[in-house]
Amino acid sequence: SQTIHQWPATLVQPVGSPLSLECTVEGTSNPNLYWYRQAAGRGLQLLFYSVGIGQISSEVPQNLSASRPQDRQFILSSKKLLLSDSGFYLCAWSVLSGGGYTFGSGTRLTVV
């Protein structure tokens, strides 16, 4: 069966520090992968998506970047965190044949 792993579950980082969040998928090949962010009390904002290895599309300008070094690995990074980067970060995957997304359990990031 397909599973999605996301870690860490919670993270507290100082302003100006780097960030690396990792997401891995098991049990499927060539999925579409997505990073979302949810600020406190807000809806989900699509940040990046990837349709294949090395292919990254950005939905909004921001202080973050994404990479997909392997088929089932998706990484969200920042060189220098801002206070506004705080939020709940969710990774998701989907297959091209349709059906729904499967979301990870999320990482709650607090920048202090």
Partner 1 sequence: DAKTTQPPSMDCAEGRAANLPCNHSTISGNEYVYWYRQIHSQGPQYIIHGLKNNETNEMASLIITEDRKSSTLILPHATLRDTAVYYCIVREMDSSYKLIFGSGTRLLVRP
CB of 10 or CB of 17, closer to partner 1: 10
* CB within 8 Å of 54: residues ≥ 6 apart: 68, 69
By CB under 8 A, residue 101 contacts partner 1: yes
Q: Candidates 17-25, 62-70, 76-84, 93-101: pick the segment binding partner 1 (CB under 8 A).
A: 93-101
Name the DSSP letter for residue 32.
Answer: E
* CB within 8 Å of 99: residues ≥ 6 apart: none
CA dihedral 7, 47, 74, 66 (to 10 degrees): -110
**Total residues binding partner 1 (CB under 8 A):** 26
Secondary structure of residue 12 in the 3-state scheme: strand
By CB under 8 A, residue 28 contacts partner 1: no
Q: Candidates 20-28, 70-78, 79-87, 102-110: pick the segment binding partner 1 (CB under 8 A).
A: 102-110
Site for partner 1, rule CB under 8 A: 32, 34, 36, 43-46, 49, 51, 57, 59, 88, 90, 92, 94, 96, 98-106, 108
